[in-house]
């Protein structure tokens, strides 16, 4: 079997059944996108004009007034927050991330204060923001959002993610209504979202996406929205965004990835996973079914329950053995404490699901001896 580039560097082969995760390099980038990236890397360009042109191309897909390409979604959050605080004023931009004397509060739901590998609050603070949480972890009301707004409020932040609490929260429409009534910018963290248009159309001023997650681009992100605020985002290049700059090659790679994405993404249908469910359920100590993504996206996964008594191993031990084998198999492990892990087919190559089933059989057989 031909070794991939990472195996040639002495690293393990990885089977990614987690999904598009930063810890595993996020996405597998299409050859035609990488060819465009290589061509871009080998030539010079006027960077300011490239920023403008690529922003126009992104906006063509999102329906926004303007867009700005960033190094990743986390950088996008920091830059959007800095834009809301400084409003593009050069003196303020060069002062950041010290926002002393400026309206710098960013109001968000407590149930949206998530960690995606780093706390979202870190990105907000990098942009000079001070977090103001509203509501409880499982319940929030519109009056709480309204009452949290003061003269020190710079922006509202709405997070769309499977990491967030999915019940009892305010809706995007609630945030839009309050933001517009108070004339405040509304930032949406839509890092892993696949819908390029709905968040802008719903009334957000700045929407932050990851290019590498939903769109299979090289490492990148973008902010898309109202021209006034995107102009303020671009101004941050003379401040905090300088440390977050993206190269010309990845800017071009993102555009080509969006071109490719717009031609249609293949979706793994729920029914296609049934043979896998049956095969895993036939193994002693395992029971599988099909689950939908927690945030309601049209993403279907295989959920595997571990019967620790029947198997002789709990879910944590099974996950550890999957990850620790000669081929490192990574699964979604958010519910291991409940004896459950999941398999995401979107990031699997041909034949890899069969290898996972075979490895689970091997683990069950080893546990029986």
Instruction: Give the chain's domains with CATH numbers.
Output: 5-25+267-368 (3.90.1150.180), 44-262 (3.40.640.10)
pTM, 2 dp: 0.87
In the predicted model, what is the mean pLDDT of residues 196-215?
A: 95
In the predicted model, what is the mean pLDDT of residues 322-346?
A: 94
Confidence tier at 349 by pLDDT (50, 70, 90): confident
Choose the weakest-confidence range: 9-23, 152-166, 204-218, 303-317.
9-23
Q: What confidence score (pLDDT) does residue 7 get? A: 82
Q: What confidence score (pLDDT) does residue 138 get? A: 94
Distance CA(98)–CA(125), nearest Å, equals 9
Which residue carries 């992104």 as its tokens? 58
Cα 311 versus chain centre, distance: 35
DSSP 308-344: HHHHSS-HHHHHHHHHHSSEEEEEB-TTGGGTEEEE-
Q: Is the pLDDT of residue 225 over 90?
A: yes
Q: What confidence score (pLDDT) does residue 360 get? A: 97
Confidence tier at 270 by pLDDT (50, 70, 90): confident
Confidence tier at 208 by pLDDT (50, 70, 90): very high
Q: What confidence score (pLDDT) does residue 267 get? A: 67
SS3 category, 299: coil
Q: Is the pLDDT of residue 324 over 50?
A: yes
Q: What confidence score (pLDDT) does residue 29 get? A: 86
Q: What confidence score (pLDDT) does residue 72 get? A: 96
Across the strands, what pairs with 308? none
Contact predicate 316/285, CB 8 Å: no
Across the strands, what pairs with 306? 286
Q: Is the pLDDT of residue 189 over 50?
A: yes
Question: Which ranges of the chain does DSSP label H, i.e. alpha helix?
Answer: 5-8, 31-41, 47-62, 73-86, 90-95, 120-126, 142-148, 172-182, 198-201, 227-235, 248-262, 274-281, 308-311, 315-324, 352-368
In the predicted model, what is the mean pLDDT of residues 286-312?
A: 91
Mean pLDDT computed over every residue of the chain: 93
Q: What confidence score (pLDDT) does residue 48 get? A: 95
Percent of the chain at pLDDT above 90? Answer: 81
Q: How do residues 64-118 score in pLDDT, each as one tens digit? A: 999 999 999 999 999 999 999 999 999 999 999 999 999 999 999 999 999 998 9
Q: What confidence score (pLDDT) does residue 85 get? A: 98
Q: What confidence score (pLDDT) does residue 213 get? A: 87
Confidence tier at 144 by pLDDT (50, 70, 90): very high
Q: Is the pLDDT of residue 183 over 70?
A: yes
In the predicted model, what is the mean pLDDT of residues 217-241?
A: 97
Q: What confidence score (pLDDT) does residue 28 get? A: 79
Q: Is the pLDDT of residue 218 over 90?
A: yes
Q: How do residues 357-366 score in pLDDT, each as one tens digit? A: 999 999 999 9
Q: Is the pLDDT of residue 227 over 50?
A: yes
């Amino acid at each position: 079997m031909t070794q991939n580039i990472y195996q040639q560097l002495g690293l393990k082969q990885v089977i990614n059944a987690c999904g598009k995760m930063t810890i595993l390099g996020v996405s597998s980038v299409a050859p035609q996108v990488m060819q465009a990236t290589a061509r871009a890397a080998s030539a010079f360009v006027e960077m300011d004009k490239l920023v403008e042109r690529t922003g126009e191309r992104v906006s063509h897909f999102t329906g926004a007034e303007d867009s700005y390409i960033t190094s990743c979604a986390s950088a996008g959050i920091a830059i959007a927050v800095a834009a809301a605080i400084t409003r593009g004023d050069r003196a303020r931009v060069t002062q950041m991330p010290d926002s002393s004397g400026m309206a710098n509060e960013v109001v968000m739901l407590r149930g949206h204060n998530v960690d995606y590998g780093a706390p979202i609050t870190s990105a907000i603070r990098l942009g000079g923001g001070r977090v103001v949480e509203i509501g409880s972890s499982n319940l929030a009301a519109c009056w709480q959002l309204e009452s949290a707004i003061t003269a020190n409020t710079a922006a509202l932040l709405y997070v769309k993610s499977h990491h967030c609490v999915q019940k009892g929260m305010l809706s995007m429409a609630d945030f839009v209504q309050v933001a517009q009534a108070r004339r405040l910018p509304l930032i949406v963290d839509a890092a892993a979202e696949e819908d390029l248009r709905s968040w802008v159309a719903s009334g957000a001023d700045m929407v932050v996406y990851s290019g590498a997650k939903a769109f299979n681009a090289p490492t990148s992100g973008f902010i898309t929205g109202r021209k006034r605020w995107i102009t303020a985002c671009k101004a941050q290049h003379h401040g905090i965004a300088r440390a977050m700059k993206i190269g010309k090659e990845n800017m071009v790679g993102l555009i080509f990835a969006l071109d490719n994405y717009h031609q249609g993404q293949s979706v793994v249908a729920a029914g296609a996973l049934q043979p896998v469910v049956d095969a895993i359920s036939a193994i002693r100590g395992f029971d599988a079914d099909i689950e939908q993504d927690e945030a309601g996206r049209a993403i279907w996964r295989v959920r595997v329950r571990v019967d620790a008594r029947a198997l002789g191993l709990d879910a944590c031990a099974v996950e550890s053995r999957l990850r620790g084998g000669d081929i490192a198999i990574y699964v979604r492990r958010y519910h291991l404490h409940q004896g459950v892990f999941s398999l995401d087919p979107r990031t699997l190559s041909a034949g890899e699901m069969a290898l996972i089933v075979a490895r689970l059989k091997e683990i069950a057989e080893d546990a029986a001896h």
